[in-house]
Amino acid sequence: MDKAPTISILVPVYNAAPFLERCLNSLLGQSLAEIEVVAVDDGSEDASPAILRRYAEADKRVKVVTHPDNQGTHRTRLDGFRNASGRYIGYADPDDWVEPETFATALRLLEQHQADTLRFSYRRIDPDGNDLPRTPGEPVKTEVYSSGREYLRRQFHSTMWSHLHKRELWETALPFFPDVELSYAEDNLTSFVLAYLSRRFVCVPDALYCYYIHPASAMQIGTLDNCIRQINYRRLVIDLLHTFLEAKNDVAFLPYRKVVIANYNCILGRLLPRLQEADRAKASVHFLDRFGELISEHADQVVNELQQTQGGLNALYNSVWWKITSPPRNGIAFLKKSFARQ
């Protein structure tokens, strides 16, 4: 690439061969030519490495980083940034795609509002090509926040691919992103820290990204091993966020608790219900063992939030309280008492 790229687009790749060409074609077909695609292959065992090599040979804007084995999305994205040279950092998952004007529009809006971070909306597309309803909480109008902390007090959306960040944010945030394996919920950490550090944050309603929902998506895997891993990763993310806020002398920052509760809801309302009954009981025990102390710490908020989340309530009744024969010590007594009153 003769000219330094304006935007580096980080693409973590793992066994994405069926979708990868569509993603890369959409990125290289951007109306904004001054981009680079930093694709990090995370130990893929399919044709993904060969596809990446072919695209890198054909277009100098494609930079490929290779992991000898699978190290998780968090490390993959960190390596992507370390190899990026753009003034701005964008993102794409290998099974999704973007519109031809996505990054030109995102850059224009970011610079127009003189923001450090831009969050945009997206399309949800099923395997038949149909657009699904918008996700609640997506921007419906342009909203400008004088700081990332102000944005986090109002809302939080964790998906990295719906954001464009200034490079300087990443450089400031990097010390708070330790070299650990994280394959799920890593966006909760990265998006939160980058938002918190933003001096100005803007949300726009423009649907600039195409999120492809298909059975092979990572969040669709409903096995006991996957659920246990997600529980562990989500607890690690919460601990890392707490460490970050300690460094900022801001552990009382309320949006952090909202992230904690969002992870409760994901585990109780989305992960546990997908398991068979016997596996659900085992995963519930593990969840309480890892999260019991936090449940006690945030008990009032947890109960209030879960009362408004039918999926969370159903998961509690069906898998935690009535299915566990040997519950762990932390947290369970309070919530048993709380739900007994309902």
Of 166, 10, 185, the residue nearest 98 (C-alpha): 10
Residue 2 confidence (pLDDT) above 60: yes
Q: Which long-range contacts (CB under 8 A, 24 or more apart) does 139-144 make?
A: 139/203, 139/204, 139/205, 140/205, 141/205, 142/202, 142/203, 142/204, 142/205, 143/202, 143/203, 144/113, 144/115, 144/200, 144/201, 144/202
> What three-state secondary structure class fits 219?
helix
What is the token pair recorded at 277? Answer: 């009954």
Rounded Cα distance, 271 and 251, in Å = 28
Rounded Cα distance, 207 and 123, in Å = 6
Percent residues over pLDDT 70 in the chain: 83
Taking the alpha carbons at both ends of the chain, their separation in whole angstroms is 63
Residue 323 confidence (pLDDT) above 90: no
What is the token pair recorded at 9? Answer: 């687009």
Query: pLDDT (tens digit, 9 = 90+) per residue, 247-264?
Result: 999 988 888 877 887 787
CATH 3.90.550.10, applies to 7-218: yes
Q: What pLDDT is recorded for position 332?
A: 43
Angle (deg, nearest 10), helices 277-297 and 332-340? 100
What is the token pair recorded at 195? Answer: 């938002």
Query: pLDDT (tens digit, 9 = 90+) per residue, 13-59?
Result: 999 999 999 999 999 999 999 999 999 999 999 999 999 999 999 99
Out of 94-98, 140-144, 273-277, the most confident range is 94-98
Rounded Cα distance, 120 and 103, in Å = 11
Residue 188 to residues 67, 193, 260, Cα–Cα distance (Å): 23, 9, 10
95: CB partners within 8 A, 6+ apart: 16, 18, 19, 23, 212, 214, 216, 217
How would residue 326 be classed by pLDDT, with cut points 50, 70 and 90?
A: very low
Of 95, 297, 59, 114, the residue nearest 213 (C-alpha): 95
Q: Show me where the domains of the chain are located.
A: 7-218, 221-340
Helix (H) or strand (E) holding 149: helix 148-154
Q: What pLDDT is recorded for position 137?
A: 76
